[in-house]
Amino acid sequence: MPETLSELEHLVLLSVMRLGEAAYGVSIQRELLETAQRKTARAAVYVALRRLEEQGYLHSVLAEPTAERGGRAKRFYALEERGLEILRQQQSTLARMWAGFEKQVES
């Protein structure tokens, strides 16, 4: 049986892919709000990021601390090949499930 992601995990992976090198917690949360129109607690985003990294779908790097952040560093996230593969699998699964319903869901 193929692996699956929760809806939030799926959207977080897509956000990381969309943001590229600018993917860090706050920018991912903003992307979820603006593009997915999903208001998400920052803590939920970080929990999902940690889980996705533990599963090998993402990796992160800690940037240099900055004065504007009070000496704290941002943690940036990037998609691993395994993360891209699970996104492809889920896209394929959804396409198969939606096949044949196009006329029923058109407005």
Q: Could you report the average pLDDT of every consecutive run of 10 residues in the chain (107 residues)?
A: 84 98 96 97 97 97 80 92 96 90 76
DSSP state of 69: G
Q: Which long-range contacts (CB under 8 A, 24 or more apart) does 89-97 make?
A: 89/2, 89/3, 90/4, 90/5, 90/10, 93/2
Tokens of residue 44, six digits: 């939920």
Cβ proximity of 62 and 34 under 8 Å: no
pLDDT recorded at residue 92: 93
Domain extents in the chain: 7-100
> For the domain 7-100, what is the CATH code?
1.10.10.10
Give 1-13 pLDDT, tens digit per residue.
567 899 999 999 9
